């Protein structure tokens, strides 16, 4: 089978770095275009020594133009900030190039919600109805037929996967859902920034983005779909002194106060029994970030608090792989007619 030729716009960020790592060993995808204004003119292997002697290492980093993408690529990954993808995607799609977008530009169905939370006008609102939210566990069939994929955010991936079974089995109330999430520092991006310097993060632990984190409406949108009713939830993210990983602890009121942990566990296993990447841990076990590092797995642990009548869900993912680049590859696999898990079947390093 002829290789799927792909481009990557935004090679220098952590998500771009992770995607380059995955594409270097992908059996069906060939990286033929890598874009960065700041690093234009360098060989990819020169910029990322870990890629030397691997496929794609001789690609010359260039500044993005739709013309180059049209000439070279079947598909382009846009690993760019919010506000950039909406300017790039229309021309790529018009040229017949499929797009997997890492930013939030096409995740939210409501233009007004996007503009409220991201503080800028949406310049490609005509594409919002065409974009498919790229969570394969929920939308695999739609993804396979799409040309524009809105790759989910990292926090939302952990939360939505954590809540899906509870929603589908009608276990929880739509009111008073609380989400407490912790992320490694790569989630804040690679650009030098005072709050993420080593001395600011090491031996420290802090919350940020209270009540206004931009992933909140994305989570609410998808959980509202699952529960078939509007949901307003509380989401609080925290920064922890580790490189990668997300742990989300989710609290939800049980509809049936007499619901047992065993019954909840059965519902979760029923939902995820055919999933290649969602692992429901045995009763009494809770997930840890180290066991999903660099993988596509989402590990879920469960508890029922009989005193407060709450379900407690602990959901763990790797923010760069499952929460960004790996999920983008899974979406690209689907829209290119390849197996969902192609190039993504790897386990976490043990130490």
Percent of the chain with pLDDT over 70: 100
CB atoms within 10 A of CB 287: 20
The active-site residue, picked from 35, 57, 73, 154, is: 154
Band (pLDDT 50/70/90 cuts) for residue 90 is very high
3-state secondary structure of 150: strand
- 154 annotated active-site: yes
Tens digit of pLDDT for each residue in 222-246? Answer: 999 999 999 999 999 999 999 999 9
What the chain holds in terms of domains, given with CATH numbers, is 4-130 (3.40.50.720), 155-319 (3.30.360.10)
Rounded-to-integer distance, Cα 308 and Cα 305, Å: 6
Q: Which residues pair with 234 in a beta bridge?
A: 178
Going by C-alpha positions, the residue among 8, 12, 62, 52 that lies closest to residue 30 is 8
CB 315 within 8 A of CB 164: no
Going by C-alpha positions, the residue among 223, 94, 210, 235 that lies closest to residue 162 is 223
Percent of the chain with pLDDT over 90: 93
| pTM for this entry | 0.96
């Amino acid at each position: 089978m002829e290789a799927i030729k792909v481009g990557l716009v935004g090679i220098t960020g952590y998500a771009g770095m992770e995607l380059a790592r995955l594409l270097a060993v992908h059996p069906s995808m060939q990286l033929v275009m890598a874009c960065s204004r700041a690093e234009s003119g360098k060989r990819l292997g020169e910029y990322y020594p870990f890629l030397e002697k691997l496929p794609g290492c001789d690609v010359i980093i260039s500044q993005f133009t739709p013309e180059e993408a049209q000439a070279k690529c079947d598909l382009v990954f846009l690993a760019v900030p919010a506000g950039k993808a909406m300017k790039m995607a229309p021309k790529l799609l018009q040229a017949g190039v499929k797009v997997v977008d890492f930013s939030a530009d096409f995740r939210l169905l409501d233009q007004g919600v996007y503009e409220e939370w991201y503080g800028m006008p949406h310049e490609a609102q005509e594409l919002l109805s065409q974009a498919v939210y790229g969570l394969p566990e929920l939308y695999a069939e739609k993804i396979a037929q799409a040309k524009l994929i809105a790759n989910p955010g990292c926090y939302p991936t952990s939360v939505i996967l954590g809540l899906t079974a509870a929603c589908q089995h009608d276990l929880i109330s739509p009111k008073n859902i609380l989400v407490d999430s912790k992320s490694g520092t790569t989630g804040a991006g690679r650009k030098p920034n005072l709050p993420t310097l080593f001395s600011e993060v090491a031996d420290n632990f802090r919350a940020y983005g209270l009540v206004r984190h931009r992933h909140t409406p994305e989570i609410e949108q998808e959980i509202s779909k699952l529960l078939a009713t509007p949901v307003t939830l509380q989401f609080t993210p925290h920064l922890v002194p580790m490189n990668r990983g997300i742990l989300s602890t989710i609290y939800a009121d049980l509809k049936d106060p007499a619901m047992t942990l065993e019954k909840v566990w059965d519902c979760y296993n029923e939902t995820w029994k055919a999933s290649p990447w969602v692992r429901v841990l045995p009763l009494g076990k809770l997930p840890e970030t180290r066991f999903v590092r660099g993988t596509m797995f989402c590990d879920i642990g469960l508890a029922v608090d009989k005193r407060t009548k709450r379900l407690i869900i602990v959901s763990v993912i790797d923010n760069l792989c499952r929460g960004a680049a790996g999920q983008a590859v899974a979406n690209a696999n689907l829209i290119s007619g390849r197996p969902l898990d192609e190039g993504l079947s790897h386990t976490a390093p043990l130490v």
